[in-house]
Amino acid sequence: MAGTNVDVTQAEMESRLVRYADLLPCTTAFIDTRTPGSKRKENFTIIGPGVSENPEQHVHISIPHGFNIGAARQPPACVNSQHSHGTAEVFVVHSGRWRFLTGHDGKGPSIVLHPGDTISIPTHVFRGFENVGEDIGFLFAVLGGDDPGRVTWAPYVFQSAEQYGLVLLENGRLIDTNKETVPRDAKRMPVTSVSDAVAYRQLNYEELERCVVPASSLTAAGGMSVVPGFEECPIAGPANAVENMPAGKLGWSHHFQLRALRIAPNVRSPLNTRVEEEVLMVHEGTLGIEWSHGSLMLAAGDTLTVPKNLQRCYFNPDAEPSVTYLVRGGDHPHPARWITQEAG
């Protein structure tokens, strides 16, 4: 593969790959981790610092991307408490059946999602989620910005946490008072009042439904769809003319673009490069990537961040289709540069 813009060894690429089996969870990432019904959840920080309140949360890849990739894994009936974000938060359901709840008390409209579905609840809206399926479920999460900020918790979360010895400080650090005392000069995070909470935006059911992209509704357009056997489907982000990509259903600004990439069996793309990192989260099947110094095979649940300006091709080696969710930074990422087209 002559003419590669950057040289990346096999070992360097493998350092940018997080396999599902190698994910390191944090079971005490947030203030609600001892609350009955929530204490069995696992949180993951895959790319970027995330929003964990535990400084011991493991960060798999610290390279700044302009967005963060995280994940949550929960057994049946396990709940992630009501909270709000000041930056974008998009979930892709990898496995399980999940109910997303709105309102500071979780009593607002709710909606159930299945594998392959995506949801983006707007900023400054209280949301939570519960595994309502019969098996362990896993969600990928994409958060806006290199620093996605802190979580704003609903009032009841603070009240419950204190009963179980957890105190959140103003700097975002979580203190377990069963193991240590609150530092004398530390300031506690102000407790969200009910009056403050009810002032947050409330969604009706129709508005919540507009925040969801069912897997069955994905439609190919632009991007890698120019390659036979490849279908790139917009999900989150505004229209991007340079990629001939219309807006996804979640078409407001997220400061990143989220798409689904469907690859037919036994097909391969031409060589191409991009000027931003491209993060791949495999949902179904196998995704292969090949470059001048090596190749990798990704399975369902694996995450890979591809370096800027790397000449690579993607392929599906299997007899079944593959589905990958991909993230590119910015509302208007640059188009791929097709090496074979230029050479031909």
Separation CA 252–CA 150 (nearest Å)? 22
Give the pLDDT confidence of 303-324 residue by residue, as tens digits: 999 999 999 999 999 999 999 9
Angle at 179 between CA 177 and CA 181, to 5 degrees: 50
Are residues 254 and 194 part of one domain? no
Q: How confident is the model at residue 217 (pLDDT cuts 50, 70, 90)?
A: very high
| DSSP per position, 49-88 | -TT-S-TTPPEEE----SEEEEEEEE-TT-EEEEEE-SS-
User: For 144-160, what is each residue's pLDDT tens digit?
Assistant: 999 888 889 999 998 88
How many separate domains does the chain show?
2
pLDDT digit string, tens, across residues 74-99: 999 999 999 999 999 999 999 999 99
Does the residue 193 lie in any domain?
yes
pLDDT for the residue 1: 40
308 shares its domain with 262: yes
Q: In the numeric block, which tokens belong to residue 340? A: 């074979």
Query: Does residue 112 register a pLDDT over 80?
Result: yes
Nearest CA to 326 among 224, 208, 209, 213?
A: 224
- pLDDT at residue 2 greater than cutoff 60: no
Residue for token digits 């469907």? 262
What's the CATH number where 99 sits? Answer: 2.60.120.10
Are 262 and 322 found together in one domain? Answer: yes
Q: Are residues 98 and 155 in the same domain?
A: yes
- Judged against a pLDDT cut of 90, whether residue 190 lies above it is answered with no
Dihedrals phi, psi of 155, to nearest 5 degrees: -55, -45
Is residue 197 within 8 A of residue 155, CB to CB? The reply is yes
User: Could you tell me if residue 14 is inside a domain?
Assistant: no
Q: What is the rounded distance in angstroms from the CA atom of residue 325 to the CA atom of residue 333?
A: 16
Tell me whether residue 12 is in a domain: no
